[in-house]
Amino acid sequence: MKRLLSLLVASLLCTAAHADLTADPIYQSHMVFQQGKPVPVCGACTSSAPVTVKFGDIEVKATVKGKKWKAVLPPMEADAEGKTLTITQGDENVQLDDVLVGEVWVASGQSNMLFRLDETRDSAALNQPAIPGFRFYHAEPQVHTNAGAYNNDLLTRLKENRMYEGAWHVGGSGDCPRMSAVGWYFGRKLHELLGVPVAVVHASLGGSEMMAWMPPAVVKKKYKECMSPRWLDSKYMSEWVRGRARQNIGKDLSAPHPYKPAYLFETGIRPWLNFPIAGVIWYQGESDAEIQDQEQNEGLLTNLIKGWRAEFKQAELPFIMVQLPRIKDASPLRAYWPEFREVQDRVSKLLPNVYDVTTVDLGTTNANVHPPRKLEVGERLAATAAACVYGKKDVPYTGPVAKRATARGNAVLLELEHAEGLKSADGKPIAHFELSADGKKFYSATAEIQDGKLILTAEGLHQTPKVVRYAWSTFLTPNLVNGDGLPTVPFTLRIDAKKK
């Protein structure tokens, strides 16, 4: 019986492999199309005969060029009723079932985005009944960067760009455990907040630096030195990235590697460029933050976002990133996390439709770079999307944000936005504020809440303070929150002179 089933499966696979009409791999049953935008549907064929694509009551003719066909469905409204997509050429047809229309988001980054739902030990989520209006596509990495040399099979897979294998699933079903926890929590919450179908397309990889996710056009234009076989010697590669890659490929720098500039974009993101999306959630930076060069990191992050927008042909594609959390690790590898948080915040202010989500309170209390609390991260991302992208102003999405600091002698008056209900979360004195007269030497400051503002003073600082900063530490226990319990956003701010 087992042999019969094996032969049947092999026969079906063989038939599929030699089918004359196919859809590209990303088009599968249970997928979601982006509402409000034309939706290309693409595939391959061996005949020049006409190809027709039907979705519900919509029927369009495809353009056939050589062995490729492409049809474009018109913009559609969100629809939670699953419909069949049928692709027909002559006597052949491809049928994809249970296809919805809603909001599609891409989730990407490094290991904290790859961190699986089953690693959270969230039994409620792992036993979540099916959520028909929430779908996800999980691209499983076929090559990781664990310490050790790659064998020939892994090198061949990398050479052939077979980095990811993925499939569409219904959120909450039994095959979700390996899905990105952050992506899964984000999608579930956004579906709840919007009341329309939501899909999350996930592709990430542990340890990956920004350059690996950079579009090749950007690398060629702005980072030419990274196109050479000596890419690992580039100043854009951290010591950790260099060390791990050399463990995998040895001295043969011409060998393929997931961290090679543009490689992960080409294998994980490029297949989706013709698939309309609503936005991107991004959790990455741990590898790049090892390099203390804020100008370099700001340029990389800016160029990555602009590059993705150019490739997706959406000039202001929403991009929501997770600001690095806390970590109790005094090693050089984590020393510059405060600087990187500032880079993320600065880029979010410089580029339109870019947002960063504060998680400085959610990190670990040890040296583990993978905080297990992904529920809050995903839901904060979803709240930010709902409020800032979809205009749901009643959704709280951020903690207090520094607005203005004014000198009052040796004291400072700090005004904040999103500060209604400002309070100490644990009833202890408010911590982690610092003042400086020259921007170099900082003094720990006490903070008192007065009418929704803060009065800051620093013992030992006898000059007029010129700079105030908050949460400038790799590890801390922040306790200043607003009435929604959301943490104050880390910042550095120039202090205005006292108004006369």
Q: To which residue do tokens 């959120």 refer?
A: 171
Q: Per-domain residue ranges for the chain?
A: 102-389, 401-494
b/e map 15-36, b = 16+ CB within 10 Å: eeeeeebbbbebbbebbbbbbe
Residue pLDDT tens, the chain, 500 long: 344 344 334 433 433 444 699 999 999 999 999 999 999 999 999 999 999 999 999 999 999 999 999 999 999 999 999 999 999 999 999 999 999 999 999 999 999 999 999 999 898 998 989 899 999 999 999 999 999 999 999 999 999 999 999 999 998 767 778 999 999 999 999 999 999 999 999 999 999 999 999 999 999 999 999 999 999 999 999 999 999 999 999 988 889 999 999 999 999 999 999 999 999 999 999 999 999 999 999 999 999 999 999 999 999 999 999 999 999 999 999 999 999 999 999 999 999 999 999 999 999 999 999 999 999 999 999 999 999 999 999 999 999 999 999 999 889 999 999 999 999 999 999 999 999 999 999 999 999 999 999 999 999 999 999 999 999 999 999 999 999 999 999 999 999 987 54
CB 467 within 8 A of CB 492: yes
- How many angstroms separate the CA atoms of 73 and 362, rounded? 42
DSSP annotation string for 169-222: EETTSTT-TTSBHHHHHHHHHHHHHH-S-EEEEEEE-TT--GGGGS-HHHHHHH
How many residues comprise the chain?
500
DSSP H helices in 352-440: 374-384
What class is the 102-389 domain? alpha beta
* DSSP-assigned letter for residue 304: H
